[in-house]
A and B are shown apart, each in its own frame.
Chain A
Amino acid sequence: MNHKCDECDRPATHRAVDVVDGKKIPVHLCDIHAAEHGLTGANPHLPVSELLNNFVQKHSGADTQSRSAENLHCESCGASFAEFRESSLLGCADCYGAFEGPLSALMERAHEGGTHHAGKVPRRAGVGERRQVAMRLLRRRLEDAVQSEDYETAAQIRDEIEGLA
């Protein structure tokens, strides 16, 4: 079930179907490559409750893929994905790993396309982790700057990134 991204070694968090010569070919992508393929950022204006509802409907359908999400269980706390659907509450920290597939899509929509943490890092997580998060934030700001054609800021951020690397 756990696919790697077709374009790199990260775990795939997005699935889609390409049609080539009339044949359907499944595509598996990580967040970064999904964004490049234009698979993310769909309607960022849905309020969260609506979003959960849509999500619940989508995943309570009869097709096999949603049934497999329904049957997911967290080995640490015993919570099922169905329980999460009911309460919108996860059972423990490990649920995030256990339900990562279906959760990723939901979270991305709930957080305006945000897929990775870009904020505070607990001290015990160490210097390396803090640098990674700082990089992630800079890369995102760089994208924003390029998108809004603010090349001066973009150049500054590029320097900062080089300083960190």
Chain B
Amino acid sequence: MNFRGHTENAGEWLRGSGPHADVVLSSRVRLARNLAGLPFVAKANRRQRYEVLESCRMQILAKPLSENTQFVHLNDATPMDRQLLVERHLISRQHGAAKNDMPRAVAVGSEETFAIMVNEEDHLRIQVLRSGMQLSDAFDQINGIDDMLEEKLDYAYSRRFGYLTACPTNVGTGIRVSVMLHLPALQLTGEIDKVKRAARDMHLAVRGMFGEGSDAQGDLYQVSNQTTLGKGEEEILADFEQTVVPQIINYERQARQALIRDRGPQLDDKIWRAWGLLTHARVIGTKEVLSLLSHVRLGVNLGRIEGVDTRTLNELFLLTQPAHLQQHSQEEMDPGARRIARAQLIRQRLGRV
């Protein structure tokens, strides 16, 4: 597999650029598709899964989806490589962890702007990633990919239910649009739960990017649509991009201004303590890193701290994860050794060796 060289950098989607990059780290659009005439993945036997894999592989590689599309058979990949792909958001945790002898794959486009999982929950899960708030661009690209694949692949489709998916919560358009949001101020002011409730009332799913349950480490949240049937793609996209997400961005920005206004010294203290720890720690775990990075990132976006850019911080969210860290050090490490290597990598990246 060829991602090893890439692991010194994050994919295109963590560049730290794009509209509203102070709050929106990245945008993602995903389409779920299945081939007609074959059972869905969970009910398919080995032979049928191979049939799906081969049909999709041939069509994906026959089309000019990107300059250099890589097709990775996950059943041949090492656990470390699979973990790298999970950390880079190119495959789901579930796809990385599935039984090894089950034929499944991922196709990754140049610059990692798209990834197509084959034989995950659905035969095809196409996703496009962009940095910042660029959902419309992401949708245009994914729609083009879908058109090209559809030229030869016969999709399971019904008049009433649209694109048929293994789980009926994805049926219809099969589309999931999501953004990764950095919401540290809403967390600090304690308004985050209110926002989460409001988002759920608008039929959105809100999840922490890292960590389990309600505690979103690094104050990073993924917000996505849930309704896929009865609305068109453009309508789903427009609701999300023009109404829902701008509202959340606004709440976060207001909370940031309120913090500066009402609790300026305490805010600066948080930011500078985080900076102090990141640049001087010798042993550090992921959970603490995520929380400190979050506060420094907030400081950079508010102009309270200088000499470090958002891109470097975004990349550290990724590069300090276990598989990336081991890849960087070129060796397998136990958690204790990782904590030392992690602290060192951070000091290097922040220019304080």
Beta-carbon contacts of B202-238 to A below 8 Å, as 1s and 0s? 0101000000000000000000001111111101100
**Once bound together, how far apart are the Cα atoms of A124 and B153, in whole Å?**
10
Check if A137 sits within 8 Å of B42, measured CB to CB: no
CB contacts under 8 Å to A, within B144-167, are 146-147, 150-151, 154-164, 166-167
CA distance A88 to B42 in the complex (A): 11
User: What B residues does A72 contact at CB under 8 A?
Assistant: none
B132 in contact (CB, < 8 A) = no
A48:B229 contact, CB within 8 angstroms: no
- Determine if B39 is an interface residue (Cβ-Cβ < 8 Å): yes
For A110, what are the chain B residues with a Cβ–Cβ distance below 8 Å? 168-169, 226-227, 229
Are B161 and A96 within 8 A (Cβ)?
Answer: yes
CA distance A116 to B230 in the complex (A): 5
A119 cross-chain contacts in B, Cβ below 8 A: 162, 172-173, 175, 231-233, 236
Please name all residues of chain A whose beta carbon is closer than 8 Å to the beta carbon of B147 when the two chains form the complex. Answer: 123
Contacts of B39 in A (CB 8 A): 76-77, 91-92
Is B171 part of the binding interface, using a Cβ–Cβ cutoff of 8 Å?
Answer: yes
**Given contacts A89-B42, A92-B39, A107-B171, A125 and B166 within 8 Å (CB-CB):** no
Q: Is the CB of B226 within 8 A of A48?
A: yes
Instruction: Establish whether residues B203 and A93, one from each chain, have CB atoms under 8 Å apart when the complex forms.
Output: no
Question: In the complex the two chains form, what is the Cα distance from A89 to B122 in whole Å?
Answer: 10
* Residue A122 lies at the interface, judged by CB distance under 8 Å to chain B: yes
Does A47 have its Cβ within 8 Å of any Cβ on chain B? yes
Known: A116-B160, A116-B230, A119-B232. A93 touches B167 (CB 8 A): no
**Taking the complex as formed, is A4 at the interface, i.e. its CB lies under 8 A from any CB of chain B?**
no
Q: A117-B173, A122-B150, A122-B157 are in contact. Are A93 and B34 (CB under 8 A)?
A: yes
Is A120 located at the chain interface by the 8 A CB criterion? yes
User: In the bound complex, do residue B230 and residue A90 qualify as a contact, i.e. CB atoms below 8 Å apart?
Assistant: no
Check B169–A48 contact: CB distance below 8 A.
yes
Contacts of B151 in A (CB 8 A): 123
Whether the Cβ atoms of A90 and B160 lie closer than 8 Å is: no
Sorting the interface of chain B by its residue count into under 10, 10 to 19, 20 to 34 or 35 or more gives: 35 or more
Residues on B with C-beta less than 8 A from A78 are 43
Contacts of A103 in B (CB 8 A): 168
Q: Which of B157, B160, B200, B232 contacts A125 (CB 8 A)?
A: B157
Q: Decide yes or no whether B260 CB sits under 8 A from chain A.
A: no
A132 within 8 A of B: yes
Give the distance to chain A from B112, nearest Cβ to Cβ, in Å.
25
Q: A117-B229, A118-B232, A137-B232 are in contact. Are A92 and B158 (CB under 8 A)?
A: no
Let me know if A120 and B159 touch, CB within 8 A. Answer: no
Q: Number of A-B pairs whose CB atoms are under 8 Å?
A: 131
Q: CB within 8 A of B230: which of A114, A121, A129?
A: A114
Interface string of A129-157 (1 = CB under 8 A from B): 10010000100100000000000000000
Query: Does B87 touch A at the CB level, under 8 Å?
Result: no
Task: For residue B58, give the distance in angstroms from its CB to the closest CB of chain A.
Answer: 18
Q: Is B76 an interface residue (CB 8 A)?
A: no
Taking a contact as CB atoms under 8 Å apart, the answer to whether B157 and A90 are in contact is no
Bound: A124/B350 CA distance, A: 54
Q: Does B40 contact A (CB under 8 A)?
A: yes
Residue interface mask A95-113, B partner, CB < 8 A = 1: 0110000010011001111
Which A-chain residue is minimally distant from B122 (CB atoms)? A89
Partner of A120, one of B36, B154, B173, B201: B173
Which B residue sits closest to A84, measured CB to CB? B168
Instruction: Kindly identify which residue among A114, A115, A120 contacts B233, using a CB–CB cutoff of 8 Å.
Output: A120
A5-28 CB contacts (< 8 Å) to partner B: none
The CA of A116 and the CA of B232, in the complex, are separated in Å by 11
The answer to whether B168 touches A90 (Cβ under 8 A) is yes
Chain B residues whose CB sits within 8 angstroms of the CB of A89 once the complex forms:
40, 42, 121, 166-167
Nearest chain-B residue to A91 (Cβ)? B43
Please measure, in the bound complex, the distance between the C-alpha atom of A47 and the C-alpha atom of B204, giving whole angstroms: 8
Is A45 close to B, CB under 8 A? Answer: yes
Residues of A within 8 A of B229 (CB): 107, 110-111, 114-117
0 or 1 for each of A73-87: is its CB under 8 Å from B? (1 = yes):
000111100000001
25 contacts between A and B (CB under 8 A): A47-B200, A78-B43, A88-B168, A89-B42, A89-B121, A90-B167, A91-B39, A91-B40, A92-B38, A92-B39, A92-B40, A107-B161, A107-B229, A110-B169, A111-B172, A112-B227, A114-B228, A117-B162, A117-B230, A118-B162, A118-B235, A119-B175, A119-B231, A119-B233, A120-B163
Q: Which 8 A-B pairs have the closest CB atoms?
A: A114-B230, A117-B162, A119-B173, A91-B43, A114-B229, A111-B229, A93-B156, A92-B39
Instruction: Give me 7 other A-B pairs in contact (C-beta within 8 A), A110-B227, A111-B226, A118-B235 excluded.
Output: A45-B200, A48-B226, A96-B158, A119-B173, A122-B157, A123-B147, A124-B150
